Structure 1
C-alpha cells in the first residue's frame, strides 16, 4: 500500500465511528454535499472525504467530485453526495385487511420495485406470510440486488421483545400470533440475506415520514392514520420511535371520542378506531360498502367524485369533529411540535383543513397559543418504507459490520 493509501486508511480508522452517522445524513437527505457532511459530523475535510470514499466503496453512496456550480455561485463547488441507485435494497412488506404488498426499498426510502399481493388475507398468519416472502423473493431474483434484510409492517400492536401481534383486530389472526418468528423463519428458508424485523404499520409509517417525508425536521412528531380499517398512532422523539416499555405505546385508536358512539372491537364505545376509519366514513355518508375495491379507495372515490353531495359533506364534518377531538387530547398529553395525518385522515384534512385545525385549537390548551402544525403525510407507501427502515437500521448503525469492509484502493 502506498503512502497516500496509508494516509487515507489512517483517516478512515480515525473516523470509523462517523461512518454510520454519515450514512444516515446522506440517507435522510441532510448531507447533499461533502462540505455539509464535514460540518454536520464536526470532523476535518480530509476525514469526511475518507468516510465518503469508504461508503462509496461499500456501494452505498455516490460521490460526484465534479459537480456543476450553481449559477452565480463563487468558488469551487463541493463534492455532491447521493445514495447509490444501484446499491443494496431491503425487502419490505405490509399486511392490511384487504391484502398485502411486498417491495424492494433502497437507501433514501426509494421504492425500487413492488409486488401487490392477494386480495384476501386468510386466518392463518403463516400462510399469508409465506405468500409475502415468496413475492419478495421473486422481486429479489428479478432485481439481482444484494439484500440487507427484511422488514414487515402489520396492522397490530407488536409486543416486545416477543414480536407477537397482540391485537390484529381487523385480521382474522389469533391474538398473540408470533409474526416476527414466523416471518424471520420464512425469510431464512427463502435464502434471503440479512436479519428480519416486524413492527406496527403506523409506527413504521411515522418513522419513514420523519426520515423522508412530512415529518422531516420535527423533534416531537405525532402521526395518526387510518388505512383500510381502524386507526393507529405513533410518536417519534428526537428521531427515534417511542414504543413504550413493551412496544405498545400510542394505541390512539382506542381513545374515546364519542361515549355514546359505535361499539369498538376493544369492548368500549366511540373509539377513534370506529369513529374515524373508512367504514365509519362510508356509513356516515349513507353508502353501503362494496366488495370491488378497498374501503379506503371507496372513500377516496367519494371525496373526489362527489364532494358536494350532502351526505359526503356531512360525513366529512362528523369525522373531522371526532378526529379533531382526539387530536386535541393527544396534543394536551404529548405536546408535539408537528402532527402528520395518513390514509383517510389525510383526505379529511384536505377536504376541510380549517375545520380540523379549529377543532384542535378549540379543544387543546396548546392549540390556543399558536397552534400545532397539522400536515398530510407525503409518502405514498410510508408503511412499506418504514418496514425497510427497520432492515436498514443495522447498516446505518455500523455499515462495516453489516456489509463487510471493502477492498482498499491504491
Structure 2
C-alpha cells in the first residue's frame, strides 16, 4: 500500500472493496502498531500509516474480522475534551494465542501468550532439566498443549527460548553450558517436531533467551521507544546480552551476536567454561554472588531466587554488602566496554542484575559513566527490565512475527 492519501470520496461497495485492497498491505504495520500499544486510537493509526481515515477504518475492520483486534466505535470522551473521540483500538483478549516455552538451568515453563505480550495462561515451573533435549522440549510442549485444550484457544504458532546461542536459520544450540545438553543440539527442529506431534498449529521458532527477553522488552516493556537498546541479564546461570538496533533485533550473520558473557572483567578471576578466566559469565551471575558472599547454594529454589533473596533480606550484612558491590563493579566494567563499542541509547538489566540495579543504582551508573567514553558525555539511561517472564513473552514474539508480517496470509492461508 502506498502512503499517499486517497483523494476519492467514500462511495459504493466497489469503492469500499478497492480501498480495502489498497489497505491490505498496511494490515501488518497496523497490527504491529496496536500490538505494541503505539496506536491506541484510529486517529493515531491513520497518522502513523499515512493514509486516509476511511482507509485506516477499513484496515482496522479487517483486523477485527480476523479476530485480532477490537474497535470501540463509541468510546467515552475524556473530561473537558471537545469533538467526537476517535475509535479506540486494542488487541482482542479472546483472540488467538501462541505457545511459548522457556528452558533454563533450573527448569522450564510453558505459557500461552496473546497479542500485546499478554500471558493468557502459564504452567508452574518444572524444576528439573533432563540431559536429553528431546525429553525436556517434549514435556514443555505437552504442558503447553494441555493449556490449549483447557482454554480452548486457537493457536497460531510456537516459540522457544533457551540459555544458549542459537544459530540461524538452523536452530542449533551451540553452547548450552548449564543444561548438560550436547553442543549443537538441533533444538528448533526437535521443538518443531514435538509441536507437530502434539497437534499444535502454526510454525515453530527458537532463539536465545536473552535475545527473546530484549525483543519483548523493546516491544512491550522498559525498552519501548529505544532505537538502539542493549539488554544484559543473568538468567539462572551465566550472563547473556542482546542488542536491538534501529528497532530490529541484531543477531549477527548467523544468530550468534553479542555473547557478552565472555567479556573479561576480572583477569585473575574464576575459570570460565569458555576456557578463559574472569568472564562476566562467572563473575556476575547468581552463583558468583553466593560464592563471593560465602554462601553454599541450597536445595530449595533456583540459584537466581536464592541470590535475589540474599540481597533483599541480608544486604545489611557486611559480607553480603561487599559481595554485591563486587558484582556491581564487575557488571559496570562490562557494561562500560559495551557502551564504548555499541553506543546504545538505553540499557536494560534483567535477572539478578535488575536486583543489583534496584539495590544500588548510583554505584552501577557511576561505574559505567566513569569507565566509558560516551558515559562521560551525558550518561546512558540504565533501567530495570519491567516484564515478568520476558523470555517467555519474547519466545511468543518469535511466533507472532509471521502474523505481524502478513495477518491475512498467516490466519487465512491466502
Match for residue 209 of structure 1?
A: 217
Report whether the alignment pairs 1:158 with 2:166.
yes
Query: 90-99 or 299-308, which moves further after superposition?
Result: 299-308
Match for residue 32 of structure 1?
A: 40
Whether the 8 Å contact between 1:31 and 1:37 is mirrored in structure 2 is: yes
Gaps (5+ residues) in structure 2?
A: 1-10
- Please give the residue correspondences for 1:325-344 in structure 2 after superposition, counting only pairs within 5 Å: 325-344=333-352
Q: CA deviation at 1:305?
A: 1.3
Report whether the alignment pairs 1:252 with 2:272.
no
Q: CA deviation at 1:4?
A: 4.3
Match for residue 132 of structure 1?
A: 140
Match for residue 307 of structure 1?
A: 315
CA distance in 2: counterparts of 1:313 and 1:72, whole angstroms? 52
Match for residue 52 of structure 1?
A: 60
CA distance in 2: counterparts of 1:124 and 1:239, whole angstroms? 36
1:119 to 122, 127, 138: 127
Match for residue 285 of structure 1?
A: 293
CA distance in 2: counterparts of 1:400 and 1:311, whole angstroms? 59
CA distance in 1: counterparts of 2:145 and 2:403, whole angstroms? 21
Report whether the alignment pairs 1:172 with 2:176.
no
CA distance in 2: counterparts of 1:5 and 1:306, whole angstroms? 70
Q: CA deviation at 1:368?
A: 0.4
- SS of the equivalent of 1:176 reads coil
Whether the 8 Å contact between 1:58 and 1:405 is mirrored in structure 2 is: no
2:369 to 358, 361, 368: 361
Whether the 8 Å contact between 1:316 and 1:351 is mirrored in structure 2 is: no
Deviations 1:265-302 (A, max 9, x none): 11100000000000001111111110111011111111
Q: CA deviation at 1:81?
A: 0.2
CA RMSD of aligned residues (A): 1.0
Q: CA deviation at 1:22?
A: 0.1
- SS of the equivalent of 2:387 reads coil
Match for residue 70 of structure 1?
A: 78
CA distance in 1: counterparts of 2:319 and 2:130, whole angstroms? 34
Match for residue 6 of structure 2?
A: none
Q: CA deviation at 1:7?
A: 2.9
Q: CA deviation at 1:307?
A: 1.9
Q: Which aligned runs of 4 or more in structure 1 are off by greater than 6 angstroms? A: none
CA distance in 2: counterparts of 1:69 and 1:405, whole angstroms? 39
Whether the 8 Å contact between 1:35 and 1:45 is mirrored in structure 2 is: yes
1:145 to 153, 160, 177: 153
Gaps (5+ residues) in structure 1?
A: none
Match for residue 297 of structure 1?
A: 305
Whether the 8 Å contact between 1:320 and 1:356 is mirrored in structure 2 is: yes
Match for residue 3 of structure 2?
A: none
Q: CA deviation at 1:117?
A: 4.1
Deviations 1:351-395 (A, max 9, x none): 110000000000000000000000000001100000000000000
Whether the 8 Å contact between 1:88 and 1:148 is mirrored in structure 2 is: yes
1:198 to 206, 213, 220: 206
Q: CA deviation at 1:161?
A: 2.1
CA distance in 1: counterparts of 2:83 and 2:126, whole angstroms? 56
Match for residue 276 of structure 1?
A: 284
For these two proteins, the number of residue pairs brought into alignment is 404
* Structure-1-length-normalised TM-score: 0.97
- SS of the equivalent of 1:163 reads coil
* Structure-2-length-normalised TM-score: 0.96
Whether the 8 Å contact between 1:117 and 1:132 is mirrored in structure 2 is: no
Q: CA deviation at 1:171?
A: 0.6
CA distance in 2: counterparts of 1:206 and 1:167, whole angstroms? 19
1:17 to 3, 7, 25: 25
Q: CA deviation at 1:6?
A: 3.4
Report whether the alignment pairs 1:87 with 2:95.
yes
Match for residue 4 of structure 2?
A: none
